[in-house]
Every structure is written in C-alpha cells, then in structure tokens.
Structure 1
C-alpha cells in the first residue's frame, strides 16, 4: 500500500532556487527508479552536490552519501541541511543513521589485515593447492614460507590472482568479502541495511577503482538481498583512465556507461566557472639531450641489425621469403617470385617487413637482389621490430639452447623501452620519449611563458601555478650534467630568473617548503601568522632557502600559501600534481603551466580545473592554461612523435574556443593552435628544414588574444544548445584530390559508345539510301556515321559528365556519401546501432575552401566508432587487410580504354578499408556495396601475394586526405 507523502523519506525536501540549464536537463533526462546505476560527469563548480541531492530526493528512499574526504563530507552536510525541513533529517554520525546520512568511503572499507583483494587471492591460492593434492595446513604453510623465501614469486602469484578476482568482484558471495572486512565495517553495513537505506550516492566516484569499488558493490548487493533497490548514483568531475584495464573494469562494472556529461563550456556560459584559453608553447631538446637522442637511435638500429644479420637471422628471413612447398619440402626449381607470392599470401605483413629488412641488412644477398625493388619501400624501425620479434619467438624462445641469446635480446631491447615477452614486443616509454618529456628546456619554457604573461595588460593580476609529475625524476638518461627533472629543478630556475624572481615563487612538496633567499624572512613571518606556529628559515648558501614548520601537515601549509597567493604576496607556486591536483582550491590562480607528462582525461581535467574557479577579487577573471611540448627539430632526421601525440591526447579531453573562430567551441588542438600554427607544427614534424620551433612560438605570440577579449568571446549568459558532434576533416591536394565518382567510367565507356553509335547511324543511313529515301555517297555516309556516333556517345555520356562536374563543384556531397557508406557498413556489421542518417553532414569550410568537415551526430559511442572508421579510411595507408579501389567504374566498357583509365592515377584511388569493416570478408564486401550505392563504382582488393605488395606500394605513394592540422575534433553547442 502507498505511504502518505509525509512518510516517504526526502519527500518534503525542497529547492527554492533556480536550476541551471544543464541541471534541469539532467533531471529530465535521467528517469527516476532506474533499473541500473545513474552515472553523471560534471566539472568542479557545476553544482554536482545539489544535483545529487535532488536525484536522491526524487527516488524517495533513505539515502547514504559516500565521499572521499571529510572536507567534501562537510560540503554535503551544509547543502543537505539547506533542503531538509528538519535538521535531524541529516546526519554524519554512523551511530545515528537519518533520512540522509553522509559518511566517508574509509568508514566502510576498513579491512582486518591487508587488502581484501590480496586476502581473497591468498585464499584462492590455498584452494588451488588443496585441489592439487595438498592438505589445507600444508598449503598455507608453504605459501607463508614462499612469501619469505621467494618474495618475488609470491607477489607475482598474488598479483595474477588479484587480476582475476577484480574481473569478477561484483559476483563474489557476501560472506567472502565479509570475512576480510573489519568487524566494525561489517557492523556498520548491517546497520545501513537494517535502517532501510536504499539509495547510495557516490561522490567523486572516479576513486572507486580498487577495494572501495568492491565494498560498495557488496553493500549494494546486501541492500538488494533485503528487498531494497540498492540504486547507485555516481557523481564525478573526471572519469578514471582506462589505461589500467583491471581497475577500470571494476569501475565500469559498478557504474556502467555515463548517463549524462555536463561539459565545462556549459558551466562557463552560465557564469559559474571562469572563461579560459588553452595555449601551447614549444621547445626543443638542449644540446646535451640532442646528442643523446641521436646516439640512442643509432644504437637501437645497430642492435637490431646485429641480431638479424647473423646467419640464423638471415636464414629466418630467407625461409619467410621463400617458404617450402605444400609438402614441406624445398622446391629448388620453383620460380623465386612464385614462392614470394605464396609467402605474401600466407603472411603479408611479416613477409613485406622481411623483404625490406633483408634489403637493408644485406643488399648484395642474392634474394635481396631478386626482390622487385618497385614493390618495397624503405625499412623503418617498425619493420625491424616486427621481424626481430618473430625471429626471437621462432628461433630463440622455442629453442632451449638459445636461452642466453633470448635473454640478451630481451634485456637489450628493454634498455630502449621495448618489452619482449612470450606474447610479442610491446612498446613502453623509451629513453628518447623520457628525455623529451622531462627535458630541461621545458623549465626554460616556463620562464618564457611567465615573461610573456607579465608583458600583457593584466600583468599585475597574474597568479600562476607550475605543475610537474615529480619532485625529482629518477631517470637521468639524456640529462648528463643537469639536475634531474622535477619541481626542484624548475623552481631553481624560476628563483634565479630576474623576471620570475620578482613574483616571489614558492615551492611546496610533501617534504619541501622552499622560497628565494631574499623572500625567506617575509614569507616565513606571514606563514607564522596564518598557521599560528613558528615557521623557521633554514641556514644555507645560495639563492634559495627551505622553510620549516614542525608538526604542521602539508594540507595546512598549502592552504596558508594559497592565502598568500590570494593576497598577492606570492604570485607563483611550484608543486607536483599529486599535491596540487584534485582537492586543491585557490580561486586566485589564473595561469597554469603544465609540465606533466600525463594525458589522461582525469589528470588533464583535474589540472585545468585548478584555474577555473571564480575569483571574487577579479569578476572578469580569465584563465590561461599552458601545455609545453618538446619537439625534435626539423633538421634532425630522427622521428619521435610521442610528444605531439601526447599533446593531441591532452587536448582531445578539453573543450575551448576555436583558436580561429571564437564563435565555435571545440575539443582538440583546434582550440589551442590556430590553423597557421598547426600548419607550422606539421612542417616541423614533416622535417621541412625551413620550419623552426621559434617560428611556431612567434605565431602563438602574435595570435594571443587579450584576456578581456576572451571574456567577451565566451558570450556568458547567452543561450546555447547542449549538443555534441564528432568531426573528421579532410583536405583537397594535388596528390589526393576529392573522391570524384565518374570520370574513369566515362573515359572507359566513351569509345564503345562511339563505336556503337557510329554503327547504328551508319546502318540507318545505308538503309534509307537503299530504299531511295535519301541519296548519299559512301564517303559522306561514313562522315554522317562518325558525326552521329559522336552525338550519340556525347548524349549518353552527358549525364555522367554533368555528374562529374557537379562532384567537382560540390566535393562535400561525395564525402557525405562516403560517410553514409561507412555508417551503413558499420551498422550491417553490428558495430553500431540504428542511427538517424540526417545527423551525418559534410560541408566546405567558408574560410578554407580546400577543407571539408564531416560532422557526426548520435550517441557518444556510435559517434566515436564512426569517426574512428572515417579517420582510418582517409588516413595514410599502413597495412590493411583490404583496399577499396574507388575510381573503378569502367566495367562493361571497351577493355583497352578501361585498362588505360584504370591505370591513369591508381595511387590516388586506393583507400584502406577500416579495421572494423575489414576483419571479416563479408563485412568488407558489404561496405564496398554500400560505397557503390552512395558514392560510385569501386572494387575490393585483398592484400595478398605479389599483387598485394604492388597495390600497397601504390597506395602508400598517395598523400593522406586527412586534414593534417586538425584531422579529428568535437564540436559543442
């Protein structure tokens, strides 16, 4: 029976204010009494607390709110008491559970001894040993001894079992978890279930990666067993990174997909976060680092060439390129090209790599000489690694007598950041990447950026934070003669530079509170007043001094320094992202210099969130967030794209005003680099010797808008449409023109149409002459037949010519057809759901007529899959399974001219079939049929044999159709 309204928990709670646009939309989009969890992502300052309370109140059940810290718990208590009609309806006392109770995760997750995962893993290991024949006592004793005698083996075994347990944690029986939780935690859960709590709100739920996720799942399961809903409402500003697959799987199983994400621009446009701009500063390695980088690449190639040029290595490549016959015996009289064709058909990618590697290592080898040079391009590091990995598996790992050589190769590759395992080669962070990521040049970039900011109109308002990954980085490779990278090194530089020293910089880490010598006494006195305890200045020599505040935690020190920043007594703070990331709140900070190497969504957005808080002292506050990238100069042959890729990943998570068109809000590098800067970056990466990193920074400086203009450009308070689209951009070029649909078909069919038309007119003329209806000489009849044939051929070809001209005038229509073909192919393959094709558009950029933007609407998951496929379709060809010949429309024509038209420009007309559509032949064939319907004639070519090598080489000569400056982005609004 229904309870009266006043008996329903939270039913009388009221919010009398005005909801923000996105808050109202969340409440309308997320239906009450949902079967599964509710998962909301919203940036700091967007009102997540109020939103969580309103979602819980709408459910009408007693509610438990869990927070990661006591500070956040107090925020929830204050907000809840403003809605509750009676104070006793809200509690933070685990001994007095109310209609809404706010606790910390820690209260629920205390374990008896160690981690619940490890305890369960140990118990599972014992069970396995018992199943294998040991007694339970003997198994437990052996495990205890192993933990002491061979700690490494013991920890490895525990980790393997922990990974398995994490994958199925939500299905564990309650008694298994209860056995490892502290009795007090179990008793608290019993009280929660008995009190009739049914809804659990999880604040900052991105923390639910390990045992907290397990405990929350267990509690929700207990509530459901008692007849309650056990509804979970997850709220977070940043999603956890999927890089740690096991931990992310825990989170994903608990909360599932995101139900609603509030983008940062919505909060800015409603006036609850400060407007901002993202910028990039580029630098290049120091001379010492550059010398190390050149030496590293030479040593890596030398190692791989040394291993593969051995008789055993050469023999491996010979056998791969010249496989034995079907019976396993060598066929000595068989044509080498026939055997090469068979090898390419059996394993195209490896055989091609073996061919280019053999030509590199032993150019005079008879087989290398016999290989058709036109089929194979240059040898790359990836080719060497592919061959080396297969050689190591086939010849070394499989041979017990080659154990020493396997270890030599494995350890040598590890020195260069490559991990050779029994599964293959996996690339880790190599020394070149590490050197660039933590280059000393980035510290100098921080100085350059601060000088630039101090030259602006708002110089007196600048309050900056410089964030690093580490206090001191442990890797010294490539940094000979320099201090190790980290917060200490960059602070030392800021303290010595005249311009930045005037900003009175302070360094805070878990163990350091460091200032300039000239500022030490003044800052120590100010901190003494704020902390209520004496802050001492250490003795020392040089430009910096450490301050000591005995028995004062780092949290209080950070808060006190934040107050000095608010006053303007300190204007630059240096620290690590662990201390200055999530949880640090200093509204006066308006400039971030990000020297970290992280590019995950969580870490990137947490850092940017530090500068976006509204500043009561500056109502027109505008934040500047700077990323720094270290690039290998164009005049150095070595390629390493780790830094630009990291830069793209960082900005792919961030929204901002388009650097060229501030009326648009985009995610991706387009909001940090103008088109001119992006093109200059591509020239540096493309090894154009006329392009310099100094030119890049000059473009950045010239395009830097005043902060006041940025505030105007955000159009705060103006209405907006909260809509997102993914965008893939392509460009016309001389080597990769638009996808014109009909010209080859016209060229192939015209001769046949001319011949048939001429015969028809000639026959009709002869018949009319014979019947006496007309009188005509044979020569004149031949001319009439020729002219008639031309007229008929022209009339038949006219529609095709008109269509071709239309394609040239409107290439966006052709690319739109290509996008629709991809969508239909993905849908037929079961990769995406039903999609309204009207959400797919293509248009020519007004400011850049050579650029065509393909916009994709629909659900976030489907948008991403479609954009991935389109990006792959128009990207440079690598090693796909299938190629699509998209100008092949000459079937049924006169074969000599069809053959000629087929070979006029083949490199321009071969597109890689995206992996999602090329894994199964049926999917690839279906895609080619959709292409024929939506775009025009085509043919599907599978890469195998010598023909595959020819096609791949031709396809790789074509320039990418992707816009190199901004191939992929998202648009909001």
Structure 2
C-alpha cells in the first residue's frame, strides 16, 4: 500500500467490522449504505484486498454505473497495491466494469428533458432490456470464477432500473461473495425496493447518514435552502387563463342538478353513510378528508384528521374523487344527464394535466407544470444567487448549477407560443444568462455537458492554456468557435474534458460551472464547490442523494467550508396546480436530513424553514420575507458551522418528534423525568390526583394549616390549567406499554420548549416503530374530537370553583377548614379521544384510562357506540380543548 494512503475513517472501519461479522456468521451477501463522500470505494477495496490476501477470494469484479466511477476504482485499487484493469477478460486481481458491460443500462438519464414525461416510463423500458451476447459471455466468466467477490457500486441503480434482472444475475452466482454499496438512505426506498434488498442481500449490514459524517468531520457542514420565485407576468397571465376551465368544473360539481346522482350526495353515500362501510383507496380517503376540512363533506366515521388533511383539496384530490364517481356512478348510467356530465369533465381535465380514458382518469401532459419547471424567473434567480455567493465568499466562491439537460428537445406546445422560450430551463439558457449579466460574467461561467464545453471566448482561451500545461498536443487541436456563448471543439470527448474542466474550476479559472445531472450528478468530485444551485426536476432517491452529495466534500484549502444547496422553486396561486414545483421540492427532501434555523437536524422541508409544510406551499405573499430569511441564513456560514457541532458525540438515529403549539405546557427546564401529580387520600377512600372529585375530610387535615396550604397549592392550582404536555405524553406512553404495544413507557417521554414557544415531544429509548406509534397517538390526543371509538373524561375546576386567596386567610378551626374545602368542587368535564391504536378494543382502552388516571386525574371511560357515549360524542365532536397545532418531524441526533 502507498504510505500516503489516508487512514480509514471512523465509518469505514465500522462498515468493515460489520461486514466481517456478517460474513463470519455465514452470510455471503451484504448491503452497505454510506453517503456521497463517505468512502464507499475504500470499503470495497479494503474488503477485496483483505480477502485476496487470505485466499478466500481469487478475483474481485466491480460493476458501477458509468465510466467515470469505473476509472476511479482502477486508480484507487492501484494505490492499495492491487493489480486492476477494465478488461472483460477478468485477468487482474480487480476488474472494474460498468453495468452496461452486462446489460443495456442508462442510469444517467433518469428523467426526460420534459418534466411532463413520467420518469418511471423510461425506467420501465430499461428494466425490459435483455442481455446481449457479450453480456451473457461475461456472466458465464463470472459464474466460472471460483472465489469471486462481486462488488455492485451505487447499487441503488439496480433497484430502480434493473429490477428482476439483478435477481437473475445473482442466481447465476450462488457461491460468490456479493457486496452492494450505495449512498441512498434506506428511508427513501419504496416498499418494492426494500423487499428486493431483503430478498437479495438479507437486509442492510451497515448504514451511516450524512449528518453522522459531518459530525465526524469527514463531510463539510451544509445548509439546505429554497429560493422561491413567482412566474413572470406573461407566464402568470397564461396560468390564470388556464385555471378558468377547472374552476368552472368545480363549480359545476357543487350543482345539485349536475347528474342523476350529483357529486356531493355521491360522496356522502360513499364515505359517510355507507352501510356496510365500503373499502376505499387511501388516496381517496385522504381526498375526502380534505373536502371535509373545506366544509364540503361530513367527517367519515372513524376518520382522524392529521396534518396532511388540514388544507384545501388539490386538483389531484378532486380528480381522485371525481374518477371514483364517474367510474362507479356516471359511466354505467343510461341517464342522459350523466352523458352530459362525462362530456363536461372530459373537456375540463386537460387544464390540470389529466385526461379521460376508457380505464378512467389518467395523468396526461401538464403544460402548467412545464411552465413552472422552466419559468424564466428561475434563470433570473440563479443569476442573483451566483452573484450573492461571490459577494459573500469572494475567492472561496465555487458555484455548481445543475440542470436536467443541455438543450430542450421537446417541442414547446403551441399554447405556450410567446409565453415560454423553446430553450428556457435548459443548461444552455442558464449559461447564456450568466455570461450576459455583468454581475456574473466576471466569474467566467463555464458550461460542461456530455457533448459540449462552452463559455465566453476569454474563459475558453484560458481553459485551453491550462490544457496546454498537461497536454500540449490536445491544446493545439482545440478551437474556440465564437458566438453569444462560445464553444470549445476538438478531438476530445467528455471522458477527456471533464478532468481538465474540473481542474480549471477548482483552480479558480471559472468560479461558476453549469452542467447536467447526467454528467456531474454522480461519480464526479470537486472538493471546492461552495454552493450548488439545483434546477433539476428529478425526484428519484438516486438523483436527490447524488445531486446533494456534490457540494459536501471537505475542501483541504478551506478548513471552515460550509456548503450551501439552493433549490429554486416556482409558485403561483393563479392556477390550482400552482404548487407542482413545491411538491417536487417536498419529494426531494423526503428522508434527507438538514440543519434548521434552531440547530436541529430534521428531514423533510422543515429544515428549510420551520413554517414549511410538506402538504401545502407557503402563501405567495410570504415569498419575499421567506427569501430574505433564507438569504440571512446563507450569509452567516459561521453560525451554520456552529449548529452542526462538528466533533461532538451523536447517536446517528432518526426518530419522530411532535411539535406542538397550543394550550399545553411543559415542566420547568431541568425538572427531570415526568412525575405523577400529588396524591391525597380522604377518610372515605376518594382519590384526588391532580383533579378534585371530593373534598378531603378533617382526618386528612389533622395538621390543619400545613395540609390546607399543601392541598391548595399542590392539588387545586394545577387543575386550573390544562394538563402539561409531559403528563399527556406520559399517559400515552404508559398506555401503549400496558396495552402490549411496546416502548419504554413514561420514563422515555422527553418534552423541550424552544425559544419560539413551541414544544417538542419525543420518546427516547424506543425503536422506530414504537416511536412513530407514540408520536402519532399523542398527536391524535391533542387534535379536535373526531369520531373515536372511546373517550376519556377530564374533570376540571374553573376559577369560580376555588375560593379566592383572601378567603383562605380567614379560615380558623377544623370545621371551618372542612367547610372551606367543600366549596372547591369541579364544575365541568372535558372529554378527550382515546388514540386509535389504544381504542381498538376495551382492553387497550382500559389500559389507556388507567394511565390517564395516574398522570392526568380520575376519569371515566366511555365507548362511543353506547347510548351515553354517542351522546357525549354528539356534544363534543369538533371540540378542541387544547387548541393545538401539531406537526410531526423526523429528528436526527
């Protein structure tokens, strides 16, 4: 091994230890997850080197998604003293090949240049690709090699594109060692992908997330930001015109004469009054609950509203319900009124990107989405972000702008003539804007794609001179072709020009690189990137992880580097699908952790701004204020670095946390674990715990004055306010534990108050499933009364139920004390829903009631299916005793 080879990092050592343990236990297949920049290549090479030395492996073969990564394996293997080659003959100790060597596979082109096209369609085509003769011959050589170690690098591609072909390949190699390496977090895998990992690899052997490597100092601290824009005036005008047809449709749907069984009565029969209850798809139920929130539908029996339902219905919600209505009610009907209904709906659907087919409503091309994805406002915003980075960082500034494609190849629809330029949204349009703007032209913006190197003429000549220092013959053959944006042509391809462009960029010859995700989104490293501007539309887990990994490398020339990633998002309220770009942003951040403005590491759009919801975009009126807030965070990089607390201990665990605002409180800071309210026992055995049911006798108050003061302060005063969040959380946690649903019970409940006044509650010492069950159950307890199966009572004292402080000073003698205490009696009762997981049956509900009795106060448990319970439900439905706003976020620690 070369003496200059870096020592193994903490997570590389842990991954190797976990791998060896798995193989010692008899496993021959393993799956390891490390983020971009986490050193997956080194883990694979160390594994190969160790087992080549001990003889358990005779040959190592690495398959990776592109030639750039293929070359990295060959070079890194040589540094470890291994003989390495990219020859299919498998003659070297380690052979590095691409997946294309086995089968037709195009991992770099996961999304079409038109966001209207469904990327899954392209993936499906790749999955159907079959082995060509050369690929089959390679598989035969692999199968004939004893002691084979097969390393599948960036193997998330296999889940997304190869599918069953991967299973067929591994079936050919039953006696081989197989190591899968990926940067894609398990949380972002869909159900089918997770199943495939379990079936083919036996689950994940080791994983570490980006935040853990930042804490170790192996990746740069980073900040995720969103820059929000609205469409240009012409774009907005067109969008408003398009919205008219859909508005007319929703208006018709409210018409009680529209169809033989109109839309709203149909929904009522389908979701509210159906007996027996008809099964509906989850997306239809969610849509119905959002219609309920909008006041258009009664609450379906047993339904519980969560954060995702507390917003107006989207076009997708309307479509899901209208489709059900058309297929089940309108189309089978012979009534002429229903024929008219179908005709009206069919004409209106294209305005929101849907079409009517014989199988029902299906997604069609969305011209609206195309306008939002490619809005000129995004290009203009990119110029501003680049200029701001130069203003803040000066010579440290290195900006990478990533686009989906170099040129737009899809023809702009006639409807967008004069609204959107043919090339808007492409890398070509971005480089033209950067070169043409005085604020950024001096940064020497440079375009590099799989087919083009382009920039201002002076920038390209400087690049040629740098090439000359390494390859004079190549430099002499390069030609700068003039134009608004000049092009550098010659006898080279991307495999040759990418290293030259990378060195030019890192040395400061160009401080702004514009590229495509296919070329620079994976397998390309530039440590000096300070900021990434993401203009891509791809939302697959692969694309998101690899895109965000570009800026996270540690820069040896800048120890205090903090990387920024800007997502540019276009919003409009002029059209019902004006949140399409926002939905894309949300999908990009699912399972991806970032630091928020309070220094917490959370996933989802919540780390961009605490006000952001994954279910609804922010109001357009707030755009300027939000952008100003983002700019302020972007400028204070030292604060961001401090938030990350590099070098401090961590758990590397992600757990849900309930964020609460409302009429709840938390114990004072430092009060320790939750403790039940005081207990007072009267002579006749009445228990009083936080809530008074009967006044204690003189026997209890033998030491009159001291007991009186304690009873007043410890028992009466706490019930003048709502119970604390700690009490409620403890009741839920103990209820779940007693019901056999897992978790550590009340000792694991942690409540923290943040400077904003928000409370955050989580369950420590629990596995992820138990944490989620606790968090969702507590959220249900705090929400307005819906239609629970069981309810519990909380008896309350009002201010008029307790004598004022002056009265107590006049009390003398035992009889007077007793009379005084009898004046303090509860005058009201508040009913609360038993969370759905605990309301499944009487036994679980009883376990919760017992926990409630301990932590909140004596209670009554009612089944809402009983006459008394139905009466309580009818009276209390919709009540909101805590007036709480709740959201669930996943926190890393």
Length-normalised TM-score, structure 1: 0.67
How far off its partner does 1:302 sit? Answer: 0.7
Per-residue CA distance 1:351-378 (angstroms, 9 max, x = gap): 9999999999999xxx9xxxxxxxxx99
Q: Is 1:48 matched with 2:34?
A: no
In structure 2, the residue matched to 1:481 is 419
Contact 1:729 1:968 in 2 (8 A): yes
In structure 2, the residue matched to 1:723 is 652
Contact 1:465 1:592 in 2 (8 A): yes
Q: Is 1:605 matched with 2:540?
A: no
Per-residue CA distance 1:898-952 (angstroms, 9 max, x = gap): 99834x6x7xx458x56x778x668985885586477554656579999899689
Contact 2:249 2:344 in 1 (8 A): no
Contact 1:684 1:693 in 2 (8 A): no
How far off its partner does 1:29 sit? Answer: 3.6
**Counterparts of 2:73 and 2:87 in 1: how far apart (Å)?**
14
Q: Is 1:845 matched with 2:753?
A: yes
How far off its partner does 1:726 sit? Answer: 1.4
**Counterparts of 2:207 and 2:311 in 1: how far apart (Å)?**
46
Q: Is 1:27 matched with 2:21?
A: no
In structure 2, the residue matched to 1:817 is 731
**Counterparts of 1:898 and 1:352 in 2: how far apart (Å)?**
43
Q: Is 1:969 matched with 2:878?
A: no
Contact 1:884 1:939 in 2 (8 A): yes
Map 1:782-793 onto structure 2 (within 5 A).
Answer: none
In structure 1, the residue matched to 2:568 is 628
Q: Would the alpha carbon gap of residues 901 and 708 (structure 1) be closer, same or farther in structure 2, given more than 3 Å must change?
A: closer
How far off its partner does 1:394 sit? Answer: 2.5
In structure 1, the residue matched to 2:703 is none
**Counterparts of 2:606 and 2:436 in 1: how far apart (Å)?**
35
**Counterparts of 1:107 and 1:859 in 2: how far apart (Å)?**
42
Contact 1:241 1:248 in 2 (8 A): no
Q: Would the alpha carbon gap of residues 686 and 65 (structure 1) be closer, same or farther in structure 2, given more than 3 Å must change?
A: closer
How far off its partner does 1:644 sit? Answer: 4.6
**Counterparts of 1:272 and 1:793 in 2: how far apart (Å)?**
62
Unaligned runs of 5+ in 2: 108-120, 299-309, 668-673, 679-685, 700-705, 797-823
> Which one of the candidate residues 346, 359, 376 is aligned to 1:440?
376
Q: What is the DSSP-based 3-state SS (H/G/I as helix, E as strand, rest coil) of the residue aligned with 2:762?
A: strand
Contact 2:29 2:202 in 1 (8 A): yes
How far off its partner does 1:459 sit? Answer: 1.1
In structure 2, the residue matched to 1:698 is 628
In structure 2, the residue matched to 1:566 is 506
Contact 1:239 1:602 in 2 (8 A): no
Unaligned runs of 5+ in 1: 1-11, 116-158, 170-176, 325-339, 368-376, 765-790, 829-833, 891-896
How far off its partner does 1:416 sit? Answer: 0.8
Q: What is the DSSP-based 3-state SS (H/G/I as helix, E as strand, rest coil) of the residue aligned with 1:962?
A: strand
How far off its partner does 1:536 sit? Answer: 3.4
In structure 1, the residue matched to 2:401 is 466
Contact 2:61 2:151 in 1 (8 A): yes
How far off its partner does 1:550 sit? Answer: 4.4
Map 1:155-234 onto structure 2 (within 5 A).
Answer: 181-209=131-159, 212=162, 214-224=164-174, 228=175, 230-234=176-180
In structure 1, the residue matched to 2:331 is 397
**Counterparts of 1:592 and 1:404 in 2: how far apart (Å)?**
51
Per-residue CA distance 1:251-305 (angstroms, 9 max, x = gap): 5643354332222233334443333333332323322333344444442121233
In structure 2, the residue matched to 1:72 is 69
Q: Would the alpha carbon gap of residues 422 and 658 (structure 1) be closer, same or farther in structure 2, given more than 3 Å must change?
A: same
Q: Would the alpha carbon gap of residues 252 and 603 (structure 1) be closer, same or farther in structure 2, given more than 3 Å must change?
A: farther
Q: Is 1:268 matched with 2:214?
A: yes
Q: Would the alpha carbon gap of residues 70 and 631 (structure 1) be closer, same or farther in structure 2, given more than 3 Å must change?
A: closer
Map 1:588-667 onto structure 2 (within 5 A).
Answer: 588-632=528-572, 641-661=579-599, 665-667=601-603
Q: What is the DSSP-based 3-state SS (H/G/I as helix, E as strand, rest coil) of the residue aligned with 2:425?
A: coil
> Which one of the candidate residues 854, 879, 901 is aligned to 2:828?
901
In structure 1, the residue matched to 2:810 is none
Q: What is the DSSP-based 3-state SS (H/G/I as helix, E as strand, rest coil) of the residue aligned with 2:178?
A: strand
Map 1:244-283 onto structure 2 (within 5 A).
Answer: 250=196, 253-255=199-201, 257-283=203-229
Q: Which moved more, 1:620-629 or 1:836-845?
A: 836-845
In structure 2, the residue matched to 1:9 is none
Q: What is the DSSP-based 3-state SS (H/G/I as helix, E as strand, rest coil) of the residue aligned with 2:525?
A: coil
**Counterparts of 1:470 and 1:923 in 2: how far apart (Å)?**
59
**Counterparts of 2:288 and 2:208 in 1: how far apart (Å)?**
50
**Counterparts of 1:273 and 1:705 in 2: how far apart (Å)?**
20
In structure 1, the residue matched to 2:352 is 416
Q: What is the DSSP-based 3-state SS (H/G/I as helix, E as strand, rest coil) of the residue aligned with 1:574?
A: strand
How far off its partner does 1:25 sit? Answer: 2.4
In structure 2, the residue matched to 1:534 is 477
Per-residue CA distance 1:718-742 (angstroms, 9 max, x = gap): 35334313142322325x7789999
Map 1:709-788 onto structure 2 (within 5 A).
Answer: 710-711=640-641, 714=644, 716=646, 718-734=647-663, 753=694
Per-residue CA distance 1:613-644 (angstroms, 9 max, x = gap): 233444443322222233447xx797955555
Q: Is 1:107 matched with 2:101?
A: yes
Q: Is 1:452 matched with 2:392?
A: no
How far off its partner does 1:647 sit? Answer: 3.8
Q: Which moved more, 1:574-583 or 1:934-943?
A: 934-943
In structure 2, the residue matched to 1:767 is none
Per-residue CA distance 1:286-333 (angstroms, 9 max, x = gap): 223333444444421212333663845253458648979xxxxxxxxx
Per-residue CA distance 1:76-131 (angstroms, 9 max, x = gap): 345445556xx66x6655435566554443333479xx99xxxxxxxxxxxxxxxx
Contact 2:606 2:612 in 1 (8 A): no
Q: Would the alpha carbon gap of residues 823 and 444 (structure 1) be closer, same or farther in structure 2, given more than 3 Å must change?
A: farther
Q: Would the alpha carbon gap of residues 162 and 469 (structure 1) be closer, same or farther in structure 2, given more than 3 Å must change?
A: closer
Per-residue CA distance 1:159-182 (angstroms, 9 max, x = gap): 99989x98xx9xxxxxxx9xx644
Q: CA RMSD in A?
A: 5.6
> Which one of the candidate residues 565, 574, 587 is aligned to 2:527?
587
Contact 1:747 1:898 in 2 (8 A): no
Contact 1:520 1:537 in 2 (8 A): yes
Q: Would the alpha carbon gap of residues 416 and 959 (structure 1) be closer, same or farther in structure 2, given more than 3 Å must change?
A: farther
Higher-helix-fraction structure: 1
Length-normalised TM-score, structure 2: 0.72
**Counterparts of 1:491 and 1:943 in 2: how far apart (Å)?**
70
Q: Would the alpha carbon gap of residues 817 and 725 (structure 1) be closer, same or farther in structure 2, given more than 3 Å must change?
A: farther
> Which one of the candidate residues 293, 296, 299 is aligned to 2:245?
299
Q: Would the alpha carbon gap of residues 392 and 211 (structure 1) be closer, same or farther in structure 2, given more than 3 Å must change?
A: closer
Map 1:114-129 onto structure 2 (within 5 A).
Answer: none
Map 1:489-500 onto structure 2 (within 5 A).
Answer: 489-500=429-440
Q: What is the DSSP-based 3-state SS (H/G/I as helix, E as strand, rest coil) of the residue aligned with 1:209?
A: helix
In structure 1, the residue matched to 2:487 is 547
Q: What is the DSSP-based 3-state SS (H/G/I as helix, E as strand, rest coil) of the residue aligned with 1:532?
A: helix
In structure 1, the residue matched to 2:806 is none
